[in-house]
Amino acid sequence: MSQPSLLVAERVRQRLRAERTDPTLAPDEARRIAQAEVRRHNDLALSRGDTMIDDESACVRDVLASVSGFGALQPLLDDPSIEEIWLNGPDRVFIARDGVSERIPLALTDAMVRDLVERMLQATGRRVDISQPFVDASLPDGSRLHVAIADVVRGSWAVNIRKFLPGYRTLDALVTLGSMPEEVAGMLRRAMRDGMSVIVSGATHAGKTTLLGALLASCADAQRIVTVEETFELAVDGPDLVALQGRQASLEGTGEITLRRLVKEALRMRPDRLVVGEVRDAEALDLVLALNTGVPGAGTVHANSAVEALEKLTILPLLAGRNIDRSFIAPALAASVSLVVHCARDAAGNRFVEEIIAPTGEIVEGRIITRPVYRAEPRT
C-alpha cells in the first residue's frame, strides 16, 4: 500500500474503534467509512498540495482488505501450502512451507501489527497487555496464535501463527505424505479403536499435534472423547466429543482455569478417552492417575526420543508438590501406557514417525523397560 493509503487505513481503523464497528459484521458501514476517509484525504491533499490518491476505488478496496479479516496476513492464511507464519517485527515476516522457512517481502507497521493481533484476539476472550505480555489463542480456523509484546521482546511485537492444515487430519493422509508406512498406520488405528493409551512424543515442529489429531480421527464413533488443552489446537471433531481449554486469570488475578483443573473436570464427563493436548507440567500427575482408573488416554510430550518421553512423564508429576516420588509414578505409567510414538523431522523438513516403543510393565532400577515396536529407516 502507498503512504497515502496507509494513512487512510489508520484513520479508518480509528473510526471503526471509536464507532465500535466490526468490518466483518458490518461491511457496508466499513465501506462507507473508507470511502469518506479517502475523499477527506484527497480534499485535504488538494488544499495543501500533498500527494493525492488517484484511484479512489482501488484505495477503498485496499483499505478494506487491510482493516477486514486479517489484513495483509489473510492471503498467507488462505494459502494451503503455508504451514506457519511469524513476525519478528513489522518488516520481518517469515513463512514455512514443507518445514522450510523463508523471509517474504511484506512490510507492515507497528500499528498494523497491533491492530491485527487485536482482531485475532477479539473472538477468543483473551488479552495481551503489560500485565499479560504473552498470549496463546486459537483462531476461528483452528490455527494457533502466540504473541509476545514489545515490553518483553526487544524491538517490536513477536507474532507466531501455526496454521491448522485440514489435509493432514487422518492417518491415511499421513501415509500418503510419507510420514509412516501403511502397516504402521493400521497398527495405530487398531490401538486407538481397542482403547489403548498412546503418547506422542517429539521435538518442536515434529508434527506431534498433527499425528495426535489423526489418531483421534481414527477412534470409533461410539467412543466419547474429552480433550483438554491450554489453547484449542487439535481441531478434531467427532460425534461424541467435548473440547475443553484453559483460561487466563483476569486483571484482578482471579478466574484462571488450569490444565490440572480441566483434567479433573474431564473425568466427571464420562470419557471413553481422555486427551491432554500437551503434557508439560504438574497435570501429568492427574493424567497418570486417570489412566490408572482404566480410562484410556492420549497426549503429546516434548522429548528427543520415545524413551525420554517416558522418563519425562515420570518426572513431571513431581511438580505437583504432593508426597509422591518416581517409585510410585513409574509402575503406574508402565501399567497404563500401551505405546509411545516418536515423531521427527529430517533435514528437508519432512515429518515422520521415527520409532514406536511399548512398555513391558517391568521396572528395573526405577526405569520403565520397553520393547521396540517399529523403527523407521534412517533419513538424511
Residue 73 to residue 239: CA distance in whole angstroms: 33
Identify whether the C-beta of residue 200 lies closer than 8 Å to the C-beta of residue 341: yes
Q: pLDDT tens digit string along 221-280?
A: 999 999 999 888 887 888 999 999 988 777 777 788 988 899 999 999 999 999 999 998
Burial of 114 (0-12, 13-18, 19+ CB in 10 A): buried
> Average pLDDT for residues 31-60, to the nearest whole number?
89
- Domains of the chain by residue range: 1-68, 70-164, 166-375
Residue 109 to residue 91: CA distance in whole angstroms: 7
Identify whether the C-beta of residue 65 lies closer than 8 Å to the C-beta of residue 77: no
DSSP 144-157: EEEEE-TTTSSSS-
Q: pLDDT tens digit string along 292-337?
A: 888 999 999 999 999 999 999 999 999 888 778 888 899 999 999 9
Q: In what order do the strands lie in the sheet with 297-302?
A: 241-245, 225-229, 273-276, 297-302, 198-202, 339-345, 351-364, 367-375
Does this chain's domain 70-164 share its CATH topology with 166-375? no
Q: Are strands 339-345 and 198-202 parallel, antiparallel or unpaired?
A: parallel
Identify whether the C-beta of residue 306 lies closer than 8 Å to the C-beta of residue 356: yes
What's the CATH superfamily of 166-375? P-loop containing nucleotide triphosphate hydrolases (3.40.50.300)
Residue 216 to residue 169: CA distance in whole angstroms: 9
CATH 3.30.70.270 fits 70-164, yes or no: no
Q: pLDDT tens digit string along 112-144?
A: 898 888 888 876 778 888 888 999 888 877 788
